[in-house]
Amino acid sequence: MADKTTAKKSTTTSAKRTGAGSRFTAEERAAMKERAKELKAAKTKEEGERALLEKIAEMPKPDRVMAERLHAIVTKSAPNLSPKTWYGMPAYAKDDQIVCFFKSADKFKSRYATLGFEEAANLDEGAMWPTSFALTRLTASDEQKIGALVKKAVS
């Protein structure tokens, strides 16, 4: 008698199989959607700054105040950087490469905001150097350090 066993068909969806739906938080998925929109919209420096300022205006007050101050520091320290949004965050680019960005604490439900630097930033120092800084507030001393970091990053 012939064996009548057949292979069971998998009813698992590809999202379940790969875990794509569970790998990212809702905030991360929203940021990726914003990035896709940003890539589709070719922007001038002025349009990029307008988009950046709109994102800052949407932030809760503590993050908004810091982001506005950081925007002033970055544009003063490195006027050649192009303001834009990057994954829905305020960012600054040189030759279309992100140099630095601000991640609000609220965006990813973190206890602190972050000033981050990407690979285009010229901050290399030895075999190890910081690429992001936690921010809970900005003092005059912090603002001077940030200005110096931004200048070094674009040198």
pLDDT of residue 12: 38
pLDDT at 139: 97
In a domain? residue 135: yes
pLDDT given at position 15:
37
Q: What is the CATH number of the domain that holds 51?
A: 3.90.1150.200
Lateral strand order in the sheet of 113-117: 82-86, 89-94, 97-103, 113-117, 132-135
* pLDDT score, position 1: 52
Q: Is residue 11 part of a domain?
A: no
Residue 5 lies in a domain: no
The number of folded domains in the chain is 1
Give pLDDT, residue 9: 45
Domain range enclosing 73: 25-153
Residues 6+ apart with CB under 8 A from 41: 47
Does residue 57 form part of some domain?
yes
User: What's the whole-model pTM score?
Assistant: 0.76
Number of neighbours of residue 69 by Cβ within 10 angstroms: 17
9 within some domain: no
In a domain, 2, yes or no: no
- Ordered DSSP codes for 118-142: -TTS----TT----EEEES---HHH
Contacts of 38 (CB under 8 A, 6+ apart): 51, 84, 85, 86, 87, 88
The two structure tokens encoding residue 121: 């930033």
Report the pLDDT value the prediction gives residue 16, as an integer from 0 to 100: 38
| Inside any domain, residue 3 | no
Ranges of the chain with pLDDT below 70: 1-22, 40-43
Write out the E strands in the chain: 82-86, 89-94, 97-103, 113-117, 132-135
Domain contains 20: no
